[in-house]
Copies of this chain bind each other. A is one copy, B any other.
Amino acid sequence: MWTFDNFPLETVNEAYGLTLDQAWLDHIQAASVRLSSGCSAGVVSSDGLLLTNHHCVIECAQELSSAEKDFVAQGFLTAKREEELVCPGMAAAILTDISDVTRDVVAATQGLTGDNFVHAQNARATGIEQAACGDDPKRHCQVVPLYQGGQYKLYQYRKYSDVRLVFAPEFSMAFFGGDPDNFNFPRYALDVGFLRLYDDGNPAATPDHLEWTTRQPEAGEPIFAAGSPGKTERFLTVSQLETQRDVYLPLQMAMKAELRGRLIGLSERGPEYKRVATDWLFSVENGFKSGVGQALALRRPPLFDAKRAEEKRLRKSLKGDLKREIGDPWADIAAAQAEYRRLFLPWYFLEQAPHHSSLFFYARYLVRAAEEREKPSAERLPEFADSRLPWMRDKILAPYKVEKALDELLLGFTLSKSREYLGVDAPETRLLLGKASPEILAHYLVDNSQLGDVAVRRTLWEGGLAAIEASDDPMIQYAMHLDAEARARRAEWEDKVVAPTRIAHEKIARVRFHVYGGTMAPDATFTPRLSYGRVEGWRYNGTDIQPFTYMKGLYERATGQAPFQLSPRFTAAQAVADGGIVYNFTTTNDIAGGSSGSPAIDADGRLIGTVFDSNIHGLGGAYSYNAELNRTVVVSTAAISEVLETVYGVTTLTDELSASAN
């Protein structure tokens, strides 16, 4: 997962017998898109058409749906551009420039520790962003820490705030095989969605787009995946990995497993409840299974053995002045882990978990935005700094629908887990609940809040602190009731955990650079990366897994019962569909959550698929990449063209793609 300014062109050309150059790299960068839904996409026409995954547009399809029209269940097809619908709150960004601001950022925190360190760093980063992008709504600037603070880079993007849904297949086909097949292979998912960038109300002009191919992928051929992988933690120290394994993951897994059960319970109350719960259930099941894969990886002794050995090697490399200057950052991080274990639950349940409820999320950020905007940008919580405020405003003022039954479940659930993990008598529990039960409090707050109405949110946003203080919305009042304590827990967390960890990581990054030079890719940071690999299966427990599935296999796997149920359109097309087309395939590319929707590009720079998943071993990629086992799963463009034509008959889309295939 290399950054575009440090891609090892020479190594790749040598290994694969290619002659890729900077122009090739620039072209791919310009055709790679980051979506605010936490996904990636590729530009596939000169009119702003994007190919991504269905699970990257499902939230949009769900938002556009109603009890009468369910675009998730039935799919979303357009015959002409006027039918394309704005995805509420969705934005897209294309990277235009990377520059190094390490010296500037590091200078701002020289000699500082704790809270002061965090504040100074945030202030400098947001200041750099604001200086570079100003208030231009078509640009987005972000200071990105790479190598855990070994480098700071300013990433500049062209930003699109009007992204529309063009095509989504039925959820049953996009997620064919459902949770049971998720992260497994052989796989038969049409995890595909098309979006379009709009600019001033018209389709955006995107001269840099990827050429479409209907060629079948071949075993062994080189594949490049260009996307924005969200988060890996390969540079965590051993003590941090232990915290992940023993504290963070067990809590997350237990909460996700129960929430999954609750959401299934909600779904069973009736079809409209089922519709409303669909994308949350998908996301929780997906997150749970990711956690299973990560926990599995962390339980394998070789992983820790290798991490321990590397830590030893880095420590041993320290000599003389450097050693005196650096000290023992691993020990500093271990000390911060003790604080992590002490402070995690109160911080998590006051500052993070309640955000599961959309209404509470709105209330908290309306309250805080009003308070923070009274201060100079550099003194605010960083998410409210001038450079980041537009993102926050867009998120709060996007016309999202709030489904009250779902929101009540989510709020009640997090409140009840707060009580369970903090204990009935903890001061934080008393603050959260008073004498109320989680369920009754959640019902009261959700039922009586008006924040589901975007006009109410707009009035409160624009009215500032006076409007907030005058509001009688119970969710606003509840957010205010929690705020001082939640901020205090956050400040303590940043002071005692975040700051010492960042300071120590900067030092460890210096040691790494000293030992390895620039020959390593930084951990994923939800910024554009390029990974190289090959079409390849794998071998596990003595069994060879082939890298391809074919369209005929989809029909063979269908049982008539969810999640192996074909949509009526697919059933109807069985006789005409080409069973020999490669449907899904696997590659050795290194990816991570956030890479979903990454264009899979062949050696000629042509689009041959859209990355949508990894195998179960790939989930351990959070902590280290294992070339033997980690695989990326891709929907082939050949299959996409075939189904658009024979199953969906959406000729405008196939025409546009053919044009781009010249």
Residue in contact with A561 in the complex, picked from B262, B264, B437, CB distance below 8 Å: B437
Report the separation of the CA atoms of residues A255 and B257 in the bound assembly, to the nearest whole angstrom. Answer: 7
> Of the 9-residue stretches A44-52, A179-187, A622-630, which lies at the interface with chain B?
A179-187
Of listed A299, A436, A437, residue having the most chain B CB within 10 A: A437
Of listed A253, A264, A564, residue having the most chain B CB within 10 A: A264
Q: Tell me if A309 is interfacial: C-beta within 8 Å of chain B.
A: no
Report the separation of the CA atoms of residues A259 and B260 in the bound assembly, to the nearest whole angstrom. Answer: 9
Residues of B close to A268: CB separation below 8 A = 265, 269
Report the separation of the CA atoms of residues A264 and B440 in the bound assembly, to the nearest whole angstrom. Answer: 15
Chain A contact patch, size range: 35 or more
Report the separation of the CA atoms of residues A122 and B292 in the bound assembly, to the nearest whole angstrom. Answer: 38
Q: Tell me if A254 is interfacial: C-beta within 8 Å of chain B.
A: yes
- Known contacts A254-B257, A559-B436, A560-B435: A180-B264 contact under CB 8 Å: no
Report the separation of the CA atoms of residues A179 and B246 in the bound assembly, to the nearest whole angstrom. Answer: 23
Proximity string of chain A (550-575) to chain B, C-beta cutoff 8 Å, 1 when within and 0 when not: 00000000011111100000000000
Complex contact B181–A424 (CB within 8 A) = yes
Copies of this chain held together in the complex = 2
Shortest CB–CB separation between residue A558 and chain B, in angstroms? 9
Q: Tell me if A177 is interfacial: C-beta within 8 Å of chain B.
A: yes
Residue in contact with A269 in the complex, picked from B253, B263, B269, CB distance below 8 Å: B269
Residues of B close to A435: CB separation below 8 A = 559-561, 564
- A186's closest neighbor in chain B, by CB? B425
Report the separation of the CA atoms of residues A184 and B181 in the bound assembly, to the nearest whole angstrom. Answer: 40
Q: Tell me if A457 is interfacial: C-beta within 8 Å of chain B.
A: no
Q: Tell me if A221 is interfacial: C-beta within 8 Å of chain B.
A: no
Q: Tell me if A534 is interfacial: C-beta within 8 Å of chain B.
A: no
Q: Tell me if A106 is interfacial: C-beta within 8 Å of chain B.
A: no
- Known contacts A269-B269, A436-B561, A437-B561: A184-B257 contact under CB 8 Å: no
Other contacts beyond A261-B263, A437-B563: 10, CB < 8 A: A180-B420, A253-B254, A254-B254, A254-B288, A260-B261, A261-B262, A262-B265, A264-B265, A269-B269, A440-B561
A selection of 7 A-B contacts at a CB cut-off of 8 Å is: A177-B424, A186-B425, A254-B288, A257-B257, A269-B269, A437-B559, A440-B561
